[in-house]
């Protein structure tokens, strides 16, 4: 019995060592991203996804967002006209979750995207993927256009940076699915 328990403990410790997660570093605060991405907006509110919207996101991406994993904020101007929306998602990676913000115009095209939070260990692989704090290669994409990881900082090589380019593209796709499912700011 003792040998079995020691074996289980050994396996558990080995799995913990393989799934190392480093502390998160905030690169951009959510409020700062929303204000920068939706500069004409003066009124903001959080939009909650209903169960049908969550199911729609799950069908589109294989991911089922929880209220902690995904947030949608709608920005309106002083006249209550829709300026755009900002969607925040968390995407798992082998070194811990990556937080992303994706902003959309009223028609659903991506205004900009950024990494808001990332673990301290993958930070050196993620920073080169950002241009002026933004994810390149996704601006202007329509909701129907899938983000292409090869367009995220194509001049950056290295297997780990390219791995994180795929994680970022997956996060942007999740943001697009949430934007579609939430109906934008309507």
Say yes or no to pLDDT of 67 above 80.
Answer: no
Residues 16-29 have pLDDT tens digits of 545 566 788 999 99
Overall average pLDDT of the 125-148 stretch: 95
What's the rounded Cα separation, in Å, for the pair 17 and 54? 33
Overall average pLDDT of the 60-87 stretch: 90
Q: Give SS3 for 108.
A: coil
**Alpha-helical segments (H) within the chain:** 2-18, 30-37, 51-61, 123-126, 159-182
Other Cβ atoms within 10 Å of 7 Cβ, number = 10
What's the rounded Cα separation, in Å, for the pair 101 and 116? 6
| Longest pairwise C-alpha distance within the chain | 71
Q: CB–CB of 112/22 below 8 Å?
A: no
Residues 25-44 have pLDDT tens digits of 999 999 999 999 999 999 99
Pairing of strands 24-26, 43-47: unpaired
């Amino acid at each position: 019995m003792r040998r079995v328990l020691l074996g289980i403990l050994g396996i558990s410790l080995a799995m913990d060592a393989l799934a190392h997660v480093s502390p998160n570093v905030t690169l951009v605060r959510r409020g700062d991203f929303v204000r920068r991405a939706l500069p004409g907006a003066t009124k903001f509110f959080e939009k909650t996804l209903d169960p049908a919207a969550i199911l729609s996101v799950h069908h589109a991406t294989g991911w089922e967002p929880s209220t902690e994993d995904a947030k949608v904020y709608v920005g309106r101007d002083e006249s209550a006209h829709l300026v755009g929306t900002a969607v925040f998602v968390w995407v798992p990676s082998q070194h811990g979750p990556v937080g992303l913000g994706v902003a959309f115009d009223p028609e659903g095209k991506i205004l900009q995207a950024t990494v808001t939070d990332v673990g301290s260990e993958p930070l050196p692989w993620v920073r080169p993927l950002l241009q002026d704090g933004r994810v390149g290669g996704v601006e202007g994409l329509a909701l129907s256009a899938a983000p292409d990881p090869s367009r995220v900082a194509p001049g950056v090589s290295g297997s780990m940076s390219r791995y994180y380019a795929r994680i970022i593209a997956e996060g942007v796709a999740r943001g697009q699915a949430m934007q579609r499912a939430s109906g934008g700011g309507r």
